[in-house]
Amino acid sequence: MSVRLRAAAATAAAGAFAVGFPPLVSAHFQMLYVDESALTRAAETPMAIVFTHPFRGGPTMDMGTPRSFYVVSQRGEDAAPVKTDLSKYLQRIEWQGVGNKASAYQAKLPREVVRSMGDYVFALEPEPYLEKEEDKYIQQFTKMVMNVGGVPGNWDKPLGLPAEIQPLNKPYANWVGGVFSGIVLSKGKPVPFAKIELEYVNHAPDLAAKAFAAAGAIEAPHPAFDNISVRTDAAGAFSIGLPRAGWWGICALGVGPLDKHAGKPLSQDAVLWVQAKDMK
């Protein structure tokens, strides 16, 4: 084969690989999505609960029935936190991701759920998901923090999840260009040098259409930009930048205490969502 032909074959192979079989460099993220995490006043709050690869908008995975879905709210720093079970609001839906459809959930939370001022720490404990490619289970303990009215409460308090990210900045009040920090916890203990993946929600979720936008907002210049790799430091803390408005998912991989489920390896991950806003 001539040099030129070899080059053409290599280009064709690379093209097929890129189009037909996108390398799975983007990471799994359990989403707890609302359009707005900082409410000025209480309002009905539709939420999408989707397991996907948010930078590429897919592939999207079928979710099992969540093991628990609740919110812990608190108005004022000295007030007692209040836990409210939200599982009755879970409705199974089909979510249209980029390239495929999958079983997901929505929760149309009535105004009453977020009626008081204060912080609302939403938490989801999903059923472990079998990742067939790797023949292992993934279970992502996921938090998303909202605020109503500006009175803070428990945004920085851990919920006591097996795998959890404790925020050191309010997840609902971040400027674009700001820095966000947190601590990765395993059963409440900081995890030094934990592996973290950071991913931007690049395909805008549409709650009414139950779909991601087909087109992404930006293109990554290189596969390593699909999800940004970060490590916690020796004390279990990490910092990330927030270069663009929208939602950023932070996932600490395999930090939970269990590593087996149904006879297969299990990765218990911790996910936290952070929303950034343009300074304008």
Partner 1 sequence: MSRGFVETAALLVFATGLAWLTPALAHAPLLDCYVEGDSVKCEAGFSDGTSAAGKKLSVLDASHKLIADAVLDKTGTFTFKPPQGDYQVVFDGGDNHTATIYSTEIK
Q: Which residues bind partner 1 (CB under 8 A)?
A: 40-42, 75-79, 115-118, 148-153
Which CA distances in Å does 250 have to 24, 44, 177, 182? 17, 26, 16, 10
Smallest distance from the beta carbon of 149 to partner 1, in angstroms?
Answer: 5
What is the chain's length? 280
CB nearer to partner 1: give 184 or 276.
Answer: 276
CB nearer to partner 1: give 150 or 223.
Answer: 150
The answer to whether the peptide bond before residue 110 is cis (omega within 30 degrees of 0) is no
Contacts 24+ apart (CB under 8 A), 35-38: 35/207, 36/275, 37/144, 37/145, 37/146, 37/147, 37/171, 37/172, 37/273, 37/275, 38/146, 38/147, 38/172, 38/173, 38/275
CB nearer to partner 1: give 79 or 207.
Answer: 79
Smallest distance from the beta carbon of 78 to partner 1, in angstroms?
Answer: 5
CB nearer to partner 1: give 76 or 243.
Answer: 76
Smallest distance from the beta carbon of 75 to partner 1, in angstroms?
Answer: 6
Helices marked H in the chain — which ranges? 3-20
Smallest distance from the beta carbon of 152 to partner 1, in angstroms?
Answer: 4
DSSP letter at 131 equals E
CB nearer to partner 1: give 95 or 120.
Answer: 120
Smallest distance from the beta carbon of 46 to partner 1, in angstroms?
Answer: 19
- How far apart CA 163 and CA 142 sit, in angstroms, is 9
CB nearer to partner 1: give 116 or 169.
Answer: 116
Which CA distances in Å does 225 have to 11, 122, 196? 22, 28, 14
Supply 21's token pair.
């079989």
Smallest distance from the beta carbon of 151 to partner 1, in angstroms?
Answer: 4
- How far apart CA 175 and CA 37 sit, in angstroms, is 13
